[in-house]
Amino acid sequence: MIGKFFTFCLEKGEKGGQKLQAKAGRGLFVALLLFVGIPVPGTGAWTGTLAASILDMDFKSTVLAVILGVLLAGFIMMTVSYGLFSFI
């Protein structure tokens, strides 16, 4: 029962990923970078790596996009934190 559900989810994710790859093409790297880099709950390095795995991205592109995305998220949070604490 549970195995069938997960198989369904993986198949659905792979079909959606193939459609996304066909549309995005080379922009998939930038899309992954922004997905990881926008500091919103649920969009981070772990989730980005899972998405890249489902999309069958190559290892080097995935690692580079995730690292740059984490740095971008850190920079955004640092900027927001510095701005908020400067008023106190």
pLDDT in tens, 31-62: 899 999 999 898 889 999 988 888 888 899 99
Indicate the pTM of the whole model.
0.74
Sequence spans of domains, the chain? 2-86
Residue 88 — very low, low, confident or very high, per pLDDT cuts 50/70/90?
low
Reported as type and span, the H/E element at residue 77 is: helix 59-86
Residues 6+ apart with CB under 8 A from 30: 65
Q: What distance in Å separates the CA atoms of residue 8 and residue 65, rounded to the nearest whole number?
A: 28
Burial of 58 (0-12, 13-18, 19+ CB in 10 A): exposed
